[in-house]
């Protein structure tokens, strides 16, 4: 499977129970993800990596609450609780995650003025992370995505991967979702329509 990569999305403390933006059951997937890592030839991790005071934090917008929507220059943006601040314990990978096999760690969300869900592009859908070029240069044409959260960073990564021409699979048993106003079903539908394989 030399032409395939496993991409583990944002399996960080702040997205697990007890974290600042906890995804229900987020820690339950760690043993399965570790099994997938053991059996994968190529492993890439993504890490949400926000500076303090990031523009996607509700605390940066007086009078706004977490999970409200605002318009940013690049489009609609969900406001989040402060999370995954650079160098914090919350930004660390889950302590049970066997992350040391990762060949590449893509940090995203580090630009103060723009959020970043996808492993491939910032939320303006224009600014690349460099992941597509990295995979192409290594002749990797197929990826499997796992991690957190199904309906945000995993889904947007999958949509961008498919658009970039990668054969894209999402292992739903190794993901957990936030589910804001039915966002899991919405994003599952969008992924299916884009040709992403959901298993």
- Identify whether the C-beta of residue 165 lies closer than 8 Å to the C-beta of residue 153: no
Of the residues 82, 84, 108, 151, only one is catalytic, namely: 108
Check if 16 is active-site.
Answer: no
- Set 48, 153, 160, 175: catalytic member: 153
Note if 10 is an active site residue.
yes
Q: Does 64 participate in catalysis according to the annotation?
A: no
10, 48, 82, 115: which one is catalytic?
10
Spatial strand order of the sheet with 142-148 comes to 104-108, 43-48, 4-9, 142-148, 167-176, 197-198
Residue numbers annotated as active site: 10, 108, 153
């Amino acid at each position: 499977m030399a032409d395939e990569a496993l991409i583990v999305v944002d399996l960080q403390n702040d997205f697990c129970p007890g974290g600042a933006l906890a995804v229900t059951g987020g820690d339950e997937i760690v043993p399965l993800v570790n099994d997938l890592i053991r059996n994968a030839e190529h492993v890439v991790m993504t890490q949400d990596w926000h500076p303090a005071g990031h523009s996607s934090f509700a605390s940066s917008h007086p009078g706004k609450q977490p999970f409200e929507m605002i318009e940013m220059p690049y489009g609609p943006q969900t406001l989040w609780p402060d999370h995954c601040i650079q160098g914090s314990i919350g930004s660390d990978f889950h302590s049970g995650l066997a992350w040391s096999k990762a060949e590449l760690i893509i940090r995203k969300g580090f630009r103060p003025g723009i959020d970043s869900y996808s492993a491939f592009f910032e939320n303006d859908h224009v600014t690349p992370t460099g992941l597509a070029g990295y995979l192409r240069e290594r002749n990797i044409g197929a990826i499997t995505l796992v991690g957190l959260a199904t309906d945000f960073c995993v889904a947007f990564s999958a949509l961008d991967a498919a658009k970039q021409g990668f054969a894209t699979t999402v292992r739903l048993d190794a993901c957990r979702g936030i589910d804001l106003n039915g966002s899991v079903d919405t994003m599952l539908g969008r992924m299916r329509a884009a040709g992403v394989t959901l298993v």
